Every structure is written in C-alpha cells, then in structure tokens.
C-alpha cells in the first residue's frame, strides 16, 4: 500500500513497488512444497526427491521471472515494476506457465505426498500431519463460493 501511496517514488517507494510485484511468491513455495517436507524436513521417501526438486526449481524460476518482469502490481494498478526489463515481455509467459504448473501439478503432487506420509506416520508425526490437513481443508473451504 505504501508503494501506491507514494507512486513508487524514492528509494523506499521503489523497493515497496518491487516487492508488491512479487510479494505473493511465498505461495509458490508454501502450497506445493510444504506438504512434501512437513514435519521433518525430508520428502516421504528418496523417490520423492526429484518431484520436490522440480517443484522447487519451477518456484524459483517463476519468482525470479516475476521479479524482473515488466508488469504492473496486482494490488496497485498502474504501479509498474521499477526493475522490470522492458524488452523481456516473454518473462510474463514464464511467470504464467510456472504458476500454472505449480498450482495444477505441484499442489496435487503435494497432496499425494502428504497422503503417503500420513499412511506411514505414527504417533506425534501423525498428529502433526492431521493439523496440517485440517489447515488445508480450512483453506479450501475459505475459497469455495458460498452455496445457496
């Protein structure tokens, strides 16, 4: 909001505008990656490591592309990226493709990984995973349209 208030002027305004462009990037890491490594920091088995690395790589590339894309901020229309490379409009497609991959492929993979881990878990780890699942269900319920 500060970036919109000062229209990206000055050092802090420019920094705030830049962060406003890519500030949603934690979603690229949290939703598709957290279930793979929760609660012990490791994938459920070594066979899951390539999937985790691909999802993490796509999240990093997508975030970096968004950081230097010549786009306007989503939350403040008309506020452009101060470090956007004007000639690199193809970065918009990298961002869109990466985000689509993460939400269409990455999140379902994370759910399957969570189910595998939940099946193998015992005691405290199972309880921790149940809390994560409850949080995920609340997130899904919050974004569903109202019925009726």
Bridge partner residues of 80 (DSSP):
72
- Res 96: pLDDT: 93
Map residue 72 onto helix, strand or coil: strand
Residue range 1-16: mean pLDDT, rounded? 63
The highest-confidence range among 3-7, 17-21, 88-92, by mean pLDDT, is 88-92
Nearest to 66 by CA among 113, 26, 107: 26
* Lookup result for tokens 């994560």: 132
Residues 63-111 have pLDDT tens digits of: 999 999 998 887 777 888 888 888 988 999 999 999 999 999 998 999 8
Distance CA 32, CA 62 (A): 13
Nearest to 29 by CA among 141, 107, 123: 107
Residue range 6-13: mean pLDDT, rounded? 65
Structure tokens at 23: 């500030």
Count of beta carbons in the 10 Å neighbourhood of residue 114: 20
Residue range 56-64: mean pLDDT, rounded? 94
pTM check: above 0.85: no
Distance CA 51, CA 106 (A): 9
């Amino acid at each position: 909001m500060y970036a919109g208030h000062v229209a990206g002027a000055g050092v802090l305004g420019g920094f705030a505008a830049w962060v406003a462009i890519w500030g949603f990037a934690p979603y690229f890491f949290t939703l598709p990656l957290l279930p793979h490594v929760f609660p012990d920091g490791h994938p459920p088995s070594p066979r899951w490591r390539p999937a985790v690395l691909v999802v993490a790589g796509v999240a990093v590339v997508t975030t970096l592309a968004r950081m230097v894309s010549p786009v306007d901020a989503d939350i403040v229309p008309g506020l452009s990226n101060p470090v956007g490379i004007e000639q690199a409009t193809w970065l918009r497609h990298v961002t869109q493709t990466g985000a689509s991959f993460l939400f269409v492929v990455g999140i379902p993979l994370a759910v399957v990984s969570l189910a595998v881990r939940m099946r193998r878990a015992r005691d405290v780890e199972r309880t921790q995973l149940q809390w994560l699942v409850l949080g995920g269900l609340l997130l899904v319920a919050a974004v569903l349209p109202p019925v009726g």
